[in-house]
Amino acid sequence: MITFEQVKANPQIHQFIKQSAEYLKDIGYTDHGFRHVGIVADRAGKIARNLKFNKIDTESSKIAGYCHDMGNFLGRTYHHYWGGLLFHQVFNQDDDIKQVSDIMEAIVAHDKEDIKIMNKVSAAAIIADKSDVHRSRVLARRPDKIKADIHDRVNYAVKDNHLDVYPAKKIIRLSLTIDEKFSQPMNYFEIFTTRMVYCRVAAEYLGYKFSLEINKFRLA
C-alpha cells in the first residue's frame, strides 16, 4: 500500500506541487500550493475516517487530496488529466495498481464535472477540494488585486470555513462566515454554484446530504 507519508516525502511529487503553485501564481490564480493541497488532504482524510472507509481508501483519499492539483504546471485546462498521469509516472509497477488507478481516477474527477463518480476516494477528494474557500487563498497570492476579481473578492470575504461530518444524520456540512464588507452571499452563489452542485453529487455518492451554511443561515 502507498501511504500518505510516502507520497509527501517523494521529491518528484513535491516538485510538481511546488512548480504548479508557481505556475498558477504567475497567471494570477488563488493559492493552489502546499497550503491548499494540505487542507484538501486533511479534509479528505476527515471524510474518510468519519465515513469509516477501509485503510487503503483512507490513505488514497488523503493522497488524492494532496496530489489533485499537481498537474497545473503542464497547463491549467487539462491539469486534472496531467495530475492523474503524473501520479502513475511516480507510482507504477511496484505498487498496488488498484490503489494507483483509484487515485488517478480521483485526481481526474476533481475537475471534470461531467465525470461519473465511481469510487469513494474521488467523492472524498472532490468535497475536500471544492469546499476550500478562504481569504488566505488570496492573501497567499495577490493581496493588491483583491477588489478587481470576483473570485478573489469572494474568497477574501470568507473569514472562517469549517467542514463537518455528521455520520448519524448522514450530513456533510460546509459552514462559512462571510464578511459582507467584501462580498455579499449572493456573489458567493454566482461563483460557487457549480462547485456546490459538485459537492452535492459527491456527497450523494457517499449516501450523504451536502449542506451549506453561510453566516449561520442554513441554505441547504
Q: Which residues bind Fe ion (CB under 5 A)?
A: 69, 111, 129
Q: How far is the CB of 138 from Fe ion (least distance, A)?
A: 14
Q: How far is the CB of 53 from Fe ion (least distance, A)?
A: 20
Distance CA 11, CA 200 (A): 35
Rg (CA), the chain: 17
Give the nearer residue to Fe ion in terms of CB position, either 39 or 178.
39
Beta-strand (E) ranges in the chain? 158-166, 171-178, 209-214, 217-218
Q: How far is the CB of 40 from Fe ion (least distance, A)?
A: 6
Q: How far is the CB of 29 from Fe ion (least distance, A)?
A: 10
Place of cell 483509484: 102
Residue 217 sits at φ, ψ, to 5 deg, of -100, 120
Give the nearer residue to Fe ion in terms of CB position, either 102 or 111.
111
Q: How far is the CB of 168 from Fe ion (least distance, A)?
A: 29
Under 8 Å between Cβ of 151 and 192? no
Give the nearer residue to Fe ion in terms of CB position, either 44 or 206.
44
Distance CA 3, CA 45 (A): 12
Question: Which stretches of 68-96 are DSSP H helices?
Answer: 79-90
Burial of 193 (0-12, 13-18, 19+ CB in 10 A): exposed
Give the nearer residue to Fe ion in terms of CB position, either 22 or 180.
22
Give the nearer residue to Fe ion in terms of CB position, either 54 or 194.
194
